[in-house]
Chain A
Amino acid sequence: MMAILQVTLMPKINISGNVPNLILLVSIILIFMREEKLALLAAGLGGFFLDFYSPFRFGFYTLFILFLTIMLYLLMERVFTQINRFVLIISIFSIVLIFDFVNYYLAEHRFSTLIFIDGIYSLIFAILIYFILRKIIKEPENILI
């Protein structure tokens, strides 16, 4: 369903061509909520379905989103054992930037500052997704509010 929304609804609410990736954001938020298994499932399955809708070579979104999710998980385990709002914001922003940098380079073969706009736009969506997931997943988590 997220993959369908990504290709039908999200392009309609773009800002200067920037479209946040729902699957990536959901996976990131789930990692912060200590739902690693759900995060990997969202990343793997979401990326897998997104590949069917993508003009890129099949497997690009599955592998890339999984890679970013696993990297974030390892960072949370080894480096940021206590998560606060600042870590959350910087992590989301950085991962979205990396994701967009690769996407943009594959599309245009160069770098652009447009990806920073997407970083901020994705942050806004991440906050919305966080509150939605908090209602759905009722187990305690380590984010300090």
Chain B
Amino acid sequence: MRRFRFLIIILALTLVGFFLYPRGYLNPLKNIFWQVAKPFGVVFNVTFDRPVRFVKSFFSFRSVLKQNSNLIKENLELQSKLAELSEAKHENEILKKELGYLSTGPLYNLLPTTIIGSAPSGYLKTIVLDKGKNNGLVGGEALVSQGYLVGIISNIRESNADAILITDYKSLVPAVLQDSRGTGMLRGGLGGLIVEDIPLNTPIKNGEEVTTSGLGGQIKPGIPIGKVSEIIAKQGEIFQMVRVNSPIDFSRLEVLFILKK
């Protein structure tokens, strides 16, 4: 028994932690642990990201070539869309002035952030960011990369916070299909990003943009998520689903911003 005294102590502390955890009493300790891990996270971000990406690129050479040609084509399409939208924006400003609307300042308050670590298991799509309560976070803020939604802030501590990526199975984000205006819930998981519970009579188009709907008031509306890549409608079901393709590579998240409330 004396040989395993240390084990009994660890088990006793674990039991205490098990009961204190739901009430959030362990948050200050978790904050300290992540503060200790932060320098390691930052160093490994700088030293390991590039070599790992270089090695992985050899295995994805063919897909990179295909992706490159798709992106060139998309770039040309977007340039022509941009010209149309610039005209629409100009017209919008004139109409607002005519109707006496107040001019709108910047829509979002963006806070840059860095990933300092991830969940111990690779199956949990949770990351830890270097911003917390001290930076004005309250929980539920959207996390974006290159303008697209990548996650939602969940647990906040003093100097760091957890963010659940939208690719996590437990992530649920209210979404809307921009053209057909069908609303549903975006869920992650191994099967990819799926918008569920879309009414069956919604005329969905392949390739249409999917954005946040703002329903529930947690996340701001209009944040791009991706494009519809597949429509899934099973016979006998009253709702349909769509698979969403995000342009973001979730295994290589680098520059991230938090949309502060």
Spell out A's residues near B (CB within 8 Å).
3-9, 11-14, 17-19, 21, 37, 40-41, 44-45, 48-59, 61-63, 66, 100, 103-104, 107-110, 112, 114, 118
B26 near A7: Cβ-Cβ < 8 Å: no
Report B89 CB to chain A, min CB distance, Å. 40
Q: Which of B22, B117, B123, B251 contacts A107 (CB 8 A)?
A: B123
A9 near B40: Cβ-Cβ < 8 Å: yes
Q: Which of A14, A44, A48, A108 contacts B189 (CB 8 A)?
A: A108
Give the residues in chain A near B6, CB-CB below 8 Å: 41, 44
Within 8 A of A (CB), among B1-51: 3-4, 6-7, 10-11, 13-15, 17-18, 20-22, 26, 29-30, 33-34, 36-37, 40-41, 44-45, 48-49
The answer to the question of B124 belonging to the interface, with a C-beta cut-off of 8 Å to chain A, is: yes
The answer to the question of B99 belonging to the interface, with a C-beta cut-off of 8 Å to chain A, is: no
Question: With A4-B37, A58-B18, A107-B123 known to touch, is A40 a contact of B155 (CB < 8 Å)?
Answer: no
Report B237 CB to chain A, min CB distance, Å. 19
Chain A, Cβ-Cβ closest to B164: A55
Q: Type the 1/0 row for B155-198, where 1 means its CB is closer than 8 Å to any CB of A.
A: 10000001000001110000000000000000001100000000
The answer to the question of B213 belonging to the interface, with a C-beta cut-off of 8 Å to chain A, is: no
Q: A interface, by DSSP: helix, strand, loop or mixed? A: helix
B37 near A7: Cβ-Cβ < 8 Å: yes
A9 near B48: Cβ-Cβ < 8 Å: yes
The answer to the question of B122 belonging to the interface, with a C-beta cut-off of 8 Å to chain A, is: yes
A55 near B52: Cβ-Cβ < 8 Å: no
A50 near B120: Cβ-Cβ < 8 Å: yes
Give the residues in chain B near A58, CB-CB below 8 Å: 14, 17-18, 20-21, 26
Report A118 CB to chain B, min CB distance, Å. 8
Question: With A14-B251, A49-B33, A109-B169 known to touch, is A54 a contact of B15 (CB < 8 Å)?
Answer: no
Query: 9 smallest A-B Cβ distances: which pairs?
Result: A19-B122, A58-B21, A11-B118, A59-B18, A107-B123, A44-B10, A58-B17, A7-B117, A52-B33
Q: Which of A4, A9, A40 contacts B7 (CB 8 A)?
A: A40
**Complex: how many Å from CA A114 to CA B189?**
13
Other CB < 8 Å A-B pairs besides A37-B4, A112-B190, A114-B190, 18 of them? A8-B40, A8-B116, A12-B49, A14-B251, A41-B6, A45-B10, A53-B33, A53-B34, A54-B119, A54-B121, A56-B124, A57-B18, A58-B17, A58-B20, A59-B15, A59-B21, A66-B11, A103-B124
**Complex: how many Å from CA A129 to CA B126?**
27
Within 8 A of A (CB), among B82-138: 116-126, 128
Report A55 CB to chain B, min CB distance, Å. 5
Spell out B's residues near A (CB within 8 Å).
3-4, 6-7, 10-11, 13-15, 17-18, 20-22, 26, 29-30, 33-34, 36-37, 40-41, 44-45, 48-49, 52, 116-126, 128, 154-155, 162, 168-170, 189-190, 251
23 A-B pairs in the complex with CB atoms less than 8 angstroms apart = A4-B36, A4-B37, A7-B41, A8-B41, A9-B44, A9-B48, A11-B118, A11-B122, A18-B122, A21-B121, A44-B6, A44-B7, A50-B120, A57-B21, A57-B22, A58-B14, A58-B17, A61-B120, A62-B10, A103-B123, A104-B123, A108-B189, A110-B190
Report B136 CB to chain A, min CB distance, Å. 22
Q: Which of A13, A52, A107 contacts B124 (CB 8 A)?
A: A107
Report B41 CB to chain A, min CB distance, Å. 4
